[in-house]
Structure 1
Amino acid sequence: MKDDIIYLVLLGLCIAFGQFYRKFRDPEQKKWVGTAVGLLIVFSTSGFHTLHMLFCYLVCGLITIYFNRKACHLVSFGFMFGYLFLFRSLTFLGFEAPPGHSNMIQMILTLKLVGLAFEVNAAATKSAEIGQAKKDEAGETVALSENEKALLKLDMLDVFHYSFNYVGVLTGPYYTFKTFRDTIYLPFSYNANCIEATVDKLKVIPLYAGLFLLISHIWPLNYATSSEFYEQRSFIYRLMYVWPTFFIFRMRIYTGIMLSECVCTMAGLGAYPKSCENKCGHGPSKDYSSLTSNPEGIEYDFETVRNIDVVNTEKCWTFREAMKYWNMCVQYWMAMYVYKRFPSKKYRTIATLAVSAIWHGVYAGYYFCICGAPFYLPIEDLYFKLFIKDATGTKRQVLNVICWISKFFAFSYMGIAFLLLTIDKIWFYYGSVYHFPYIMWLAMYLVGMVIAKDRKAKAKRAEKKQQQEATK
């Protein structure tokens, strides 16, 4: 609870500071003020452990700038994720455990520094291709953008400002060096309606926070590991307990992520013209250079730093679809720098989920939860194809509702492992419900495969019969 209060106070101060920060017009002044406030937040929450972040910045910055740019992204990835694992293992080595907020800072810093190395690698690759006179589809020579030129001229001070600017330094969301640089040098943040965008998000936060406090008081998580829970509660009660615990988790995440988004919107970070078709994490999909000279009177949005879509997460029918609306900026990072870059198409999904689990922490619960998704998705895909895909009308609606219930039950059952963290607590709860969901999902998959095989055989027989009748 103490950590939550500190977290909320710091986010509140960061949101308020955005109104002041946004008024700086001189890029150098803006960079230094943002970095100074960011370092103050890091030091106030981490104390002596701030040295971890500074060391990572120093090593990864040197790798990105001075190492061979064909491989700097891979070396940076290995170093930062290796150090993240070491950072979380300090207690096992007999050292003092870093504060909880330090872990969040280290997590975001890992994404930023590794992502920056990938951006530099992409810019260097494009530069080499231009040197070979590569042309685009229209037959015109491809040119480097201003951001790509800046990446090729990157220095340690640029990495320093990007790493420790106060916007997102505590809890994210992840944003690229390109987005950061545009906020500093382009006029969009001065012209976007940052206050309105922030207030729109703040309006719903009391609802999520209130529901979190209320439901967590009625159904506390630690009750699921008590002897009373196992001895005095029925099997159905124990099985259904995952629903309120995951609801509590969602409300907490919604509150934290939307407050983090408010820090961005109030500071003007991620503001781009709406006409550029901005995407979460990536930014504009269309060229915006012509809009920088006349930025007034343009409609802006903050889609670039939108990290969660609460409405679609709640109302979409399938597990697969819901995953797309959750922690979207981090998912963008995982998609761009792990999924699309992984050499084996067959194992890229498992590799991406494994990296996500490693990024979240060293506890077994993260692996039970995140790496459990690939085993549930084929079941959902199979039943969607068998029963829902071609259904219409009332039947489709009923099946969609059943799929929605199954989606949230799967999220909730896997999610409780994410919350319980340790093997003993996870096994205690899963044992208390006799691992029923896993057994049920295995049975569903086997039954679904039998149905699919039977339908395929019937279709072949019908096709053969038609061919025989046609030859008569």
Structure 2
Amino acid sequence: MDGIVNTVAVSLGTTDSAIRLLASLFLGFPLGFVYRTVIHAKPSHIQHFYFTFFGLAISYFNFGWELLHPLINIFSIWLLLSVAGGTVLSVGVAFMFNTGYLILGYLQNTEAIYNISWTLAQCVLTLRLTGVVMDVYDGKKGEEKLTAEQKESALAKSPSLLELLGHTYCFCGFLVGPQYSMKRYMSFTQGAFTDSWREGLPHSVGPATIRLFLGILYIAVFQIINIVLPTEYMLTTNFDDLSLFSKCAYILFWGKNAINKYIGCWMVAEASCILIGLSYNGKDINGNVLWDGCTNMKLYQYETCTDLHHLIDSFNHNTNKWMARYVFKRLRFLGNKQLSQIMTLFYLAVWHGVHSGYYMNFFLEFLVSNSLAEFIKFSHKVRILRNINDSTTLMPLVWLVKKITITFSLSYALVSFVLLSSDYYMKVYRSVYYIGHLFHLVMPVVCLLLSMLLSKPSSVNGVNTNRVDKKTS
């Protein structure tokens, strides 16, 4: 098996660990088909065992005996829930223990270049186990104290060890996500999610196959374009010799393509979630079955949106929902939305790893978010900008400018996310004169100064005015 994996990796110009990961994600489809046709109607404990057995097998295939790390983590959380489930103490201990175990794993794997290791699956596990403990805590509160969102995932009792193993090792989501709550998983294994098929192939096969095809397409596009726009080129003297415009164009297209490998992997995993029925989400008003319960990529929204918040909502959707539900909204007691956002982004950086590149990436994302928000507020005050934005004639041009701006901004931030080491990503940023940093640092200041200038009292024929002239602004 090692020889086969190595041969495929060399022929595709990638690493053994990447091939193992891709093979594992694709394996979810045949395993999902067996589950859907044979195991689906069996008692819950058989389903938990099925997911646990094949999840452990895939884990061993990818990480060898390092699979013991997540098992230790799972068993520790099960003990915590058995002893103190539903208490504030359990939430604090789980949050610190899960995150701390993950950080220790990162410190064990501190290569300058990212390498797939057991911490990849541990990332997903950290959020999943922390979410379970917090859901048990919510379940002890009483429904009148819960928000509508918390009611969707609150657990009335702590899960058994087998249930916890099945939930965390379900092969369609334990490697790269998506995140889904224990309550959804339990409802699914108890038969609550079904499209009532009786004969022939399950109704989930069609939507799952489409998602799988799209995932393969995005992975293939990434691999092809990566040959033309490799990451390493940005560290060469040839890149340094390019004009500023050419460097920025390279970063723009490189970053857009770099995201494709993540999109592809998420959609392949999501295809398995759809196939087994875990993504079943009822029916729309027209009676069409919805398979978006575990959506991690809102693909059309991602490719067409020009608003940062819409982009964030479409990308790694379920992980962002987890961060919003279990971190951002739980920091409401701080009384400052921006501070809650900063702390959530900081936790996201910690969750990704110890390399400085992650922290630079999320710092830049915060700058971009704040900068674009300030510009939008300012543009609403200026009639000419409102007219340009609302013009149907200029709509294609406005869309293109917005799309290029947001894509470049996030591609610029992604440089540090991918290169990880400050020696590498700062070299790239220096070569473009920190244009992304400066633009999003200066933009809010410029908007503020212009707003003050427009609202400054003026004198007309000896009469002071203290308003912005809506007809001329």
Q: Shorter-chain TM-score category?
A: 0.7 to 0.9
Alignment partner, residue 178 of structure 1: 183
Deviations 1:324-379 (A, max 9, x none): 11101001110010001013132110011111111111111111112222212222
The answer for unaligned runs of 5 or more in structure 1 is 138-143, 278-296, 467-472
Residue in 1 that maps onto 2:78:
61
Counterpart-to-counterpart distance in 1, 2:134 and 2:359: 26
Give the RMSD, CA atoms, in angstroms.
Answer: 2.9
The answer on whether the counterparts of 1:198 and 1:266 sit within 8 Å (CA) in structure 2 is: yes
Name the amino acid aligned to 1:74: G
| Alignment map for 1:123-272 (pairs within 5 Å) | 123-126=139-142, 151-189=156-194, 191=196, 193-230=203-240, 232-272=241-281
CA distance in 1, matches of 2:147, 2:290: 29
- After superposition, the C-alpha distances for 1:357-413 in whole angstroms (9 at most, x for unaligned) are 111111111111122222122221222222268332245654443222211110111
| 8 Å Cα contact 2:456/2:466 also seen in 1 | no
Aligned to 2:410: 411
Partner residue, 2:92: 74
Q: Provide the residue aligned with 2:119 in structure 1.
A: 103
Residue by residue over 1:135-183, the C-alpha shift from the partner in whole angstroms, topping out at 9 and shown as x without a partner, is 999xxxxxx99x85x6415332322222222221111111100111111
Structure 1 CA distance for aligned equivalents of residues 370 and 251 of structure 2:
22
Aligned match of 2:4: none
Amino acid at match of 2:126: T
One-letter amino acid of the counterpart of residue 70, structure 1: T
Is 1:336 aligned to residue 337 of structure 2?
no
Q: CA deviation at 1:84?
A: 0.5
Residue 206 of structure 1, CA deviation:
4.0
Partner residue, 1:352: 344
Report what 1:366 is aligned to.
Answer: 358
Query: Contact 2:454–2:468 at 8 Å: present in 1 too?
Result: no
CA–CA distance in structure 2, aligned partners of residues 187 and 450 of structure 1:
57
Alpha-carbon contact 1:179-1:270 (below 8 Å) kept: no
Within 2, Cα distance between the matches of 1:334 and 1:59?
Answer: 23
Residue identity opposite 2:205 in structure 1: I
The residue type equivalent to 1:171 in the other structure is: V
- Per-residue CA deviation, residues 186-219 of structure 1 (Å, 9 max, x unaligned), is 2534636210111221333343233212211111
1:314 to 296, 299, 303: 303
SS at match of 1:35: helix
What is residue 88 of structure 1 aligned with on the other side?
106
Cα distance in 2 between the residues matched to 1:465 and 1:219? 48
Judged with a 3 Å threshold, the aligned counterparts in structure 2 of structure 1 residues 464 and 372 are, in CA distance, closer, same or farther, namely closer
Q: Do 1:46 and 1:98's aligned partners in 2 also have CA atoms closer than 8 Å? A: no
**Counterparts of 1:45 and 1:208, CA distance in 2:** 22
TM-score, length of structure 1 as denominator length? 0.84
Indicate conservation of the 8 Å contact 2:85/2:133, yes or no: no
Matched letter for residue 61 of structure 2: S
What does residue 6 of structure 1 align with? 20
Counterpart amino acid of residue 439 in structure 2: M
User: 1:331, 1:300 → 2: CA distance?
Assistant: 24
Corresponding residue of 1:285:
none
Find the residue that maps to 2:386 and give its secondary structure: coil
Shift of 1:440: 2.8
Q: Which amino acid counterpart does residue 17 of structure 2 have in structure 1?
A: D
Give the match for residue 445 of structure 1: 444
What do the CA deviations read for 1:97-130 (whole angstroms, capped 9, x no partner)?
Answer: 9971412210111111000001101101127x6x
Please tell me the residue identity of whatever aligns with 2:289: Y
Q: Residues of 2 paired with 1:359 and 1:211: CA distance? A: 28
Alpha-carbon spacing, 1:9–1:209, altered in 2? closer, same or farther (3 Å): same
Which residue number in structure 2 is paired with residue 34 of structure 1?
51
**Structure 1 letter corresponding to 2:93:** V
In 2 relative to 1, CA 119–220 (structure 1 residues): closer, same or farther, beyond 3 Å?
same
What CA distance in whole angstroms lies between the structure 2 residues aligned with 1:135 and 1:53? 31
Q: TM-score, normalised by structure 2?
A: 0.83
| Distance in 1 of aligned mates of 2:28 and 2:395 | 46
Quote how far apart the aligned CAs of 1:464 are.
6.9
In structure 1, give the amino acid aligned to 2:335: K
Q: 2:69 aligns with which of 33, 37, 52?
A: 52
Q: Give the distance between the partners of 1:113 and 1:464, measured in 2 at CA.
A: 55
Identical positions, percent: 22
Partner Cα separation in structure 1 for residue 29 and residue 98 of structure 2: 29
Deviates more, 1:19-28 or 1:297-306: 297-306
Change (3 A) 1:381 1:266: same
Task: Tell me if the contact between 2:455 and 2:468 (Cα under 8 Å) persists in the aligned partners.
Answer: no
Q: Distance in 1 between matches of 2:255 and 2:114?
A: 27
Residue 354 of structure 1 aligns with an amino acid whose one-letter code is F
Match of 2:133 in 1: 117
